[in-house]
Structure 1
Amino acid sequence: MNIKEIESVGLKQLTGTTKDLINMGIWFLYETQYDKFPAAKYFLSADKKYYLLTDNGDVITSLSDYPVDLEYDTRIIFSDMPKFEPIKNFRRLWA
């Protein structure tokens, strides 16, 4: 899985809260190409709801089930917003 950083202004239609949730790793945004919806550039996985988005963040459709035929290989995060930083000094205390 590749990670691509873009500026948050590129997806004007997404709220600041949505962008924060994406950068925190709670929701996930991916670049995609989906034959059933040619205008879809992004796929947003938010809790148990899924959305196909245009190149500026407009919702094309929402999906209640995960689209198993959807392909993506690049996760999107926002370069100009705070990001989730993984814990590098994690150590199991019970081992």
Structure 2
Amino acid sequence: MDRETCEQVVQTQLEKKEPDADPHVQQAVAEEMCRLLDSGKLEDDIDEDTYAGLFDVEYLLSRLEVRGGDADLRTKWNYWIGQMCYFAGDDYERYKIDSE
């Protein structure tokens, strides 16, 4: 899927999953999710036997639940990215969403 379509799909899903999130944050998370998917980095860093072929929009949306609780969307995304930095290296820092 091309980047524009990816961002539209993710934005639509985020509006359903995180309806109270700031629209700018939804857009920023959608952009970073799609950049990460395009990069192929997940396939390089995560055990293929466990997640072979599963690195898609649904997988990344499910990662928002890692943080849980009442955290906002930016915090959930950045928390998971922080976990990836810890386990796979700081290359994931570039996918964090800065605060306003």
Whichever structure has more strand as a proportion of its residues is 1
What TM-score, normalized by structure 2, do the two folds share? 0.32
- The structure showing larger relative contact order (alpha-carbon pairs under 8 Å, at least 6 residues apart) is 1
Whichever structure has more helix as a proportion of its residues is 2
What TM-score, normalized by structure 1, do the two folds share? 0.33
Q: For the pair shown, which has the larger CA radius of gyration, 1 or 2?
A: 1
